[in-house]
Amino acid sequence: MKIEKDIQDFDAVGDNHIGTSSETPMRSDAFELTSSEKIDIIKDDVRHIMETLGLDLNDDSLKGTPKRVAKMFVNEIFGGLNPDKKPSASTFENKYKYGEMLVEKNITVYSTCEHHLLPIVGKAHVAYISNGTVVGLSKMNRIVDYFAKRPQVQERLTIQVVKELQKVLNTEDVACVIDAKHLCVNSRGIRDVDSSTVTSEFGGKFKNKETKREFLDYIKLDTTF
């Protein structure tokens, strides 16, 4: 039957972590509902899932779960879907004429696999070479966090971080490496608890072998204080 083949195809995509686009797939009507309206709808859907699983939502420990999950989805772990939450990234003139690469490493990544809605946890390392402007250091962390807070595949997240910083800084010379553990691999399926996934995106001068090597050497430095 066609529906069975479709299910098999969808499972194959998810288990192989295939992404369909460098942009997050969004419907044209994605923002017609308010956050409060989305929470009310998701709350009912979560309740239905829990009841279908046989859980007793009259229990004191469970009765608030549907609302808590709905608020978490909309306001927290998928908050990066809301363009209003996109961090403003003010740039400044590079008055001190710093001409080497700037590296912000060990940025904490908390994201969610879009295939199984399980956590992705890891570190991002981001660098750029100024062409006349610089950006506040915390903004690099906030950009990573914004794009991480949505259903993701790691390859897309890596590309989105680089593209956004390229736009903000008006330069192609941006790089990002992410090393993360996927609980859809670690806690289900193959259940390989030790494996992690590394992705990278190099733009402009970072495609040069020596510049790329310099960046990779920087992120190996021990920064334990």
Predicted confidence (pLDDT) per residue in 130-147, tens digit: 999 999 999 999 999 999
Q: Is the pLDDT of residue 5 over 70?
A: no
Rounded mean pLDDT, 199-221: 97
Q: Give mean pLDDT, residues 192-196.
A: 92
Average pLDDT over residues 79-97: 90
Provide the pLDDT for residue 11: 57
- Considering the candidates 154, 164, 176, 201, report the single residue annotated as catalytic: 154
When pLDDT is cut at 50, 70 and 90, the band that residue 48 belongs to is very high
What's the chain's average pLDDT? Answer: 91
User: What is the enclosing helix (H) or strand (E) of 162?
Assistant: helix 154-169
94 against 65, higher pLDDT: 65
Is there a catalytic annotation at residue 176? no
Give tens-digit pLDDT for 6-42.
Answer: 445 545 555 665 556 789 999 999 999 999 999 999 9
The verdict on whether 113 is a catalytic residue reads: yes
Residue 58: pLDDT band (50, 70, 90) is: very high
Confidence (pLDDT) at 10: 45
pTM for this one? 0.89
Residue 13's pLDDT is what? 53
- Residue 117 is predicted with a pLDDT of 96
Give residue 2's pLDDT band: very low, low, confident or very high (50, 70, 90). very low
141/161 Cα distance (integer angstroms): 10
Residue 46 has pLDDT above 80, yes or no: yes
Give yes or no for residue 224 having a pLDDT over 80.
Answer: no
Structure tokens at 71: 């608020």
* Cα–Cα distance list, 216 to 23, 125, 160, 175 (Å): 26, 9, 20, 10
Q: Which one of 104, 160, 184, 201 is the catalytic residue?
A: 184
| Percent with pLDDT over 70 in the chain | 91
What pLDDT, on the 0 to 100 scale, is given for residue 9?
Answer: 53
Based on the residue annotation, tell me whether 166 is a catalytic residue of this protein.
no
- Tokens of residue 192, six digits: 């390989």
CA-closest candidate to residue 174, choices 120, 135, 123, 220: 135
E-assigned strands of 34-186? 91-93, 101-113, 119-129, 133-135, 151-152, 174-182
Q: Is residue 126's pLDDT more than 80?
A: yes
Catalytic: 184? yes
Tell me if residue 48 is catalytic.
Answer: no
Note the pLDDT of residue 18: 59
Q: Catalytic residue among 104, 125, 164, 182, which?
A: 182
Task: Quote the pLDDT of residue 3.
Answer: 45
